Amino acid sequence: MNYTARYMDYLKKAGLALNELPEDLQQLIRKFDTALEHWNNADESGQRKFHAALLQSDALIAAGIFKLKKEPDNMDTTKLNEVKAKMLLLRKKTNKK
């Protein structure tokens, strides 16, 4: 069984390069990648033993990247303004009653 790290997807979505991350997060990623390489080469019982730790480590790295995200999710500005306008209209109607 092989595992592909999911933090790379978050890194790409955040628009960040590995070398733009804080040093402590880069170091954690290097250690994770080394552990992942060993895990992928381990036998099935060894993989089962450390599977949960691998998933949690990947999630921790992804969360660290998510916090550093450069830009907010790509939401169309026009759509966002439409939603804000509707919200304001609803507030006016609610306050009149």
DSSP 19: G
Whole-structure pTM value: 0.67
Q: Is the pLDDT of residue 33 over 70?
A: yes
Helices (H), strands (E): how many in the chain? Answer: 4, 0
pLDDT of residue 58: 93
Residue 61 lies in a domain: yes
Tokens read off for 95 = 């306050």
Q: End-to-end alpha-carbon separation of the chain, Å? A: 62
Distance, CA of 65 to CA of 81 (rounded, Å)? 28
Dihedral of CA 27/15/69/9: which sign?
A: negative
Total structural domains within the chain: 1
pLDDT digits (tens, 9 = 90+) for 5-20: 999 998 988 888 999 9
Residue 60 lies in a domain: yes
pLDDT of residue 44: 93
Residue 80 lies in a domain: no
Mean pLDDT of the chain: 84
* Domain extent at residue 53: 7-72
